[in-house]
Structure 1
Amino acid sequence: MEKLEQENTDMMARLKINGNKVEELKRQNADQPKVAFSFGLTDSGQVGPFGTAITLKFSKVFINFGQVYNPKTGLFTAPVRGAYYFSFTTIDGRIDVYRDVYLYHNDKRVLDSHNYSTNSPEIVSNSLVLQLEKGDVVYLVLYAGSSVYDDTNDYTFFNGFLLFPL
């Protein structure tokens, strides 16, 4: 009987320790920034071509946790230093044209997405992981002479989220 009582006491002590660890993990998780966005471009159809490059401004909000993407400027701004994942998909409704969309980190072009559509509109997707500092910006640029297309079917969109803080 004494042995069972001792085992019960030991088990209760381990249970309390584990309960404290769970509560600590919950506190740590609650302190982590919640950063994710997903935006569609427009319901208006074709955007471009323009005589100069433009920053694409995605206006259809699917999610914007942390309010990290600004649809008025087209800029994602990193709220914390960390590793971030970005992806985008575009379509151009025209044929026999080039479509060039670039992803910028601050003022540096870090990802190019080129396509030449010959027979029908083609969808192009691209993605990457970037290490960002707090305050860094990421955005998409539509190259001069290129266009993209979007409507209520959400063909053209831009996504990003924090993988983990550093």
Structure 2
Amino acid sequence: MTTSENEVEELKRQNAVLKARMKTSENVMEELKKENTDLQSRVTASEDKSTVLETRMTTSENEVEELKIQNADRPKVAFSLGLTDAGQIGPFNTDITLKFSKVITNFGQVYSPTTGLFTAPVRGAYYFSFNLMDNRSNAWRDVHLYHNDKRVLWSANYSANSYESVSNSLVLQLEKGDVAYLVLRAGDSVYDDVNDYTTFNGFLLFPL
């Protein structure tokens, strides 16, 4: 083989090596492109998730702010009362409205110890409860809860023993300006002292 032929063969060999290296580089390039495409897809998906989370976070923050506003605007209405420190009240010849003179709490100033009336500041659902003790033996214990001029609850029991009580509770729908109060029936009495045996409580559940 001549020198020229040898040189040609060498060039062919080198060219084959270059082609092989080029092919390898192209394969590496394609693999990198695939990896880059996959990475871009993952980044896009992550960005989408981040956007969704940001949207949900913004929505939650807005809801919290709205609840804060609603809570700030909601009337603060609640009372808890004791009747007296004077002992036995009654019996009387007629029904009387009980006037609870010991104000434990009176948020919103909704209960008047002077009149014995709770006055609703807003239309809503209100919860009321009471406990009344009588220190007489062999006597009825009768108390009525009124809504405006309508009796909505009559609680009574008869006991041969002294120092027994009657309790009850209910929820009323009241309009703004409506009143609720407790009435002691004629012929009955009620007892209270520093131990707060006789109490009247109420609060606004929610406006309507």
* Bucket of the pairwise TM-score, normalised by the shorter protein: over 0.9
Q: Which runs of 5+ in 2 are unaligned?
A: 1-42
Does 1:112 find its partner at 2:154?
yes
Q: CA 1:114–1:3 in structure 2 vs 1: closer, same or farther (change >3 Å)? A: closer
The residue that corresponds to 2:186 in the other structure is 144
Task: Normalising by structure 1, report the TM-score.
Answer: 0.93
Task: Tell me how far apart the structure 1 counterparts of residues 47 and 146 of structure 2 sit (CA, whole Å).
Answer: 65
Task: Give the one of 168, 174, 177 matched to 1:126.
Answer: 168
Measure, in 1, the Cα distance between the counterparts of 2:163 and 2:176: 38
Question: SS of the counterpart of 2:166?
Answer: strand
Q: Normalised by the size of structure 2, how large is the TM-score?
A: 0.75
Among residues 57, 78, 81, which one is paired with 2:123 in the alignment? 81
Cα deviation for residue 2 of structure 1 reads: 4.4
8 Å contact from structure 2 (residues 136, 161) kept in 1:
no
What residue identity is the alignment partner of 1:58? F
- Answer whether contact 2:126 2:203 (CA < 8 A) is retained: yes
User: Which deviates more from structure 2 when the two are superposed, residues 131-140 or residues 15-24?
Assistant: 15-24
Residues paired across the two proteins, number:
166
**Is residue 90 from structure 1 mapped to residue 132 from structure 2 by the alignment?**
yes
Quote the Cα distance in structure 1 between the aligned partners of 2:110 and 2:89: 24
Structure 1 or 2: more strand by fraction = 1
Q: How does 1:7-156 map to 2 (within 5 A)?
A: 7-156=49-198
Q: Which runs of 5+ in 1 are unaligned?
A: none
Identity over the aligned pairs, expressed in percent? 72
The structure with higher relative contact order (CA 8 Å, sep 6+) is: 1
